[in-house]
Chain A
Amino acid sequence: MFKKTAIYLLLTGAALSFLYPFYWMILASLTPEAQIGQLGVLPKTLTFDNYALMVSKIPIWRSLLNSTFVAGLATAGVLLFGAMTGYALAKLRFKGRELLFIVIIFTMTLPFQITLIPNYILMVKFQWVDTFAALVIPALNSAFAILLFRQAFKSIPDDLIHAARVDGCGELRIIFQILCPNIIPTIITVGIITFMNSWNDVLWPLIVIRDEQLMTMPQLVTLFAVGGRAEAQLGVKLAAAVLLALPIIAAYSVFQRYFIQSMASTGLKG
């Protein structure tokens, strides 16, 4: 009994120490600039001034839309093409299949700094710089998604696919109508991780996007915070940070059940 209480106290303490910075951030963004320095645990004066100021200075709503569009397309693309690639690597028989898989896994081990410059040069050659194409198209498939889909499809018996073929299914119908409904946790994991990675990415947009109207939210907020336009006002920066974190927190709380389940079954973390 005592042991259990102690464990719960410890866990609660740990949880609070993770939550407190978020709480402070939200609270501070709602506090007048002058009072942020003396901020305690409970709010004194609440105001939306910081938010109003931020909205007036940068096209934050536009960037929210851009981010949603880019992350949404990337996620859809990864789910679509990742499932197709994973299926081929798991279930179709062709020469060089294992080699291809090894090469794909190998790309995961390359630090992105190595591919950053070549990728940028490609974007320039394709004339995709300063277009959404540079943000979306390279993100339409991922080795990580392929790996997860392949593992999930491998666990499904061949005869299920055989039954579908005899019933008249083509490959696409087999993937999306027969197999995918049976690997929902994998789809959700891949979906959330892809969406978060795309949403949080700052470096790549910084390199390929210069037009403020095309910027993603993290990019815009980062430039705003470090670029001097926030005029060293902490409250305004924090307001931008809160808006940036909200969609991810919302998505996580909706899907966390699947997320944990699938993390446990695949042994992978994001």
Chain B
Amino acid sequence: MAVIKFEHVTKNFGKITAIRNVDLEIRDKEFMVLVGPSGCGKSTLLRMIAGLEEISAGSLYIDGQIVNDLPPKDRDIAIVFQNYALYPHMTAYDNLAFGLKIRGFKKSAIKEKVLEAARVLEIEPLLDRKPKAMSGGQRQRVAIGRAIVRDPKVFLFDEPLSNLDAKLRGQMRLEIASLHKKLQATIVYVTHDQVEAMTLGDRIAVINQGEIQQIDTPQNLYNFPKNRFVAGFIGSPPMNFIDGVIRRSAKGLFFEDSSGALYAAAPQALEAYTCRNIVMGIRPEHLHVRPEKEAERYASFNAEVQLVERLGHESFAFVRLHGTPIAARLAPEDAPEANTTMTLYAAIHRMHFFDKETGKVIA
């Protein structure tokens, strides 16, 4: 059992507020991902769970008990750091054994646990090496080994894969996912990489400037972003944002972009925004070179093609609509030539509308 709950938690470093009034509940055995740009406070949140960072205001609960003042060693958590933080003067074996030794386990019990963890992570051949004599990927495994050997109820990961090359990162991602199934523990995983966030998380908390923007499942974050920040952060290439106005006609409300080149029927919910500036968002994958489905409605517009990226299985067209940059994800055979004009069809029911000032989603 391990439920972690932040209640109005704030963290100040002198005059800087790194975490602002965070409410977050992490369920038992959940894989919770904290994602956000560098410097948004992810590591600080994680270190607060570990007890490595004092909490300036608010309460942190683990299993219903307030732990604001509980030292790290009494929290039954383990943490894997971005730079591994292995003890440089100890062998891999001693790195794994150290925490157990301090907790007073018997030598034979320590050996059994270390060897078991080493077997799970396939690091047995490394056990008598020091960190200096290991590759980045090997150090990463040892660091994970040091966490699982104590069998804690909560695992914390702070950008554990960010120092690995792309191939190894993909492989370790799968391993961490299967580790979660095997360990049946609560995991809080920090990353700035949205692919890691989307693939690993049961739920994701998107953070920006010390505040939680939205907490939801990966699919819901993608489908129903609550604000412009989340909409722009989840998805790659990111969602396109187009400035415009809501207008009323005989047939109902419609959106007109600021250049007057794009018209799209708008939902009735935007009534209150009639004649006001708003921002429309549409993802690159919801732009097509022709209407995709009979039953759906599309808004078509012409745009100048600036650049085309061909990835083999798909291609990205980077176009401009009167100065506004727009990316479209297209099938390889639909890729246009650069420096031409093309017509794009935007799926109307895939459009998101945001308040221009607050960035909040309004329809």
Contacts and interface: CB of A to CB of B under 8 A. Distances in A.
Interface of A: 157, 159-160, 162-169, 173, 178, 181-182
Contacts of B89: 181-182
Contacts of B50: 162, 166
Contacts of A178: 87
Contact of B73 (A157, A167, A181, A182): A167
Interface residues of B, number: 23
Contacts of A168: 73, 99, 102-103
A243 B250 CA distance: 110
Q: Which of A157, A163, A164, A165 has the most CB of B within 10 A?
A: A163
A165 B98 CA distance: 11
Q: Which of A159, A165, A166 has the most CB of B within 10 A?
A: A166
B85 A165 contact: no
Contacts of B312: none
What does DSSP make chain A's interface, helix, strand, loop or mixed? Answer: helix
B88 A182 contact: yes
A182 B130 CA distance: 13
A216 to B, nearest CB: 36
Contacts of B79: 162-163, 166
A162 B81 contact: yes
B82 interface: yes
A167 B72 CA distance: 8
A169 B85 contact: no
B102 A169 contact: yes
Contacts of A162: 47, 50, 52, 72, 79, 81, 85
Contact of B98 (A157, A167, A181): A167
Contacts of A169: 73, 102
Contact of B102 (A160, A163, A167): A167
B78 interface: yes
A178 B77 CA distance: 20
Contact of A159 (B77, B82, B102): B82
Nearest to B88: A182
Nearest to B89: A181
A166 B88 contact: no
A159 B81 contact: yes
Contacts of A181: 89
B52 A165 contact: yes
Contacts of B213: none
15 contacts: A157-B85, A159-B83, A160-B85, A160-B88, A163-B79, A165-B52, A165-B71, A165-B73, A166-B78, A166-B99, A167-B98, A168-B99, A168-B102, A168-B103, A178-B87
Nearest to A164: B87
Contacts of B71: 165
A193 B77 CA distance: 43
A169 B89 CA distance: 16
A178 B83 CA distance: 16
Given A159-B81, A159-B82, A166 B87 contact: no
Contacts of B102: 167-169, 173
B83 A165 contact: no
A165 B81 contact: no
Interface in B10-54: 47, 50-52
Given A160-B88, A166-B73, 6 more contacts: A162-B81, A165-B73, A167-B98, A169-B73, A178-B87, A182-B89
B361 to A, nearest CB: 37
A157 B72 contact: no
A163 B102 CA distance: 13
